[in-house]
Amino acid sequence: MGSIVGQADPAPTLKFMQIKIYTKAYCSYCYAAKNLLVRRGLTFEEFALSGDGTREQEMRNLTGGTTVPQILINSEPIGGYTELVELDRAGELTT
């Protein structure tokens, strides 16, 4: 279903967005990012990278990043924990 000419489609809320997060077990920023998403009531799919070179390459290809966490919202890389906090402070993580 398309939008009416001259009227934009309403932006989906984050509650219905696909959130993916690439993490490593020892990473405190990964834990903090996951905790923030949980506190906001947002669901996400986690990809643990510990020892998985194929997943790490996938992360680099999708995000351009080499550090964790790397977070994607609707297949768009947003960055890591710092960028997630910035979205939260801007009110963009409220459901």
Cα pseudo-dihedral 50, 55, 58, 60, rounded to 10: 10
pLDDT for 13 beyond 60: no
- Output the CATH code of domain 15-89: 3.40.30.10
Express each pLDDT in 15-58 by its tens digit.
578 999 999 999 999 999 999 999 999 999 999 998 878 999 99
Q: pLDDT band at residue 64, thresholds of 50, 70 and 90?
A: very high
Please give the full DSSP string across 17-79, using - where no structure is assigned.
S-EEEEE-TT-HHHHHHHHHHHHTT---EEEE-TT-HHHHHHHHHHHS--SS-EEEETTEEEE
Residue 78: CB atoms within 10 A of its CB come to: 16
* Closest by CA position to 61, among listed 87, 17, 22: 22
In terms of pLDDT, which residue wins out, 86 or 13? 86
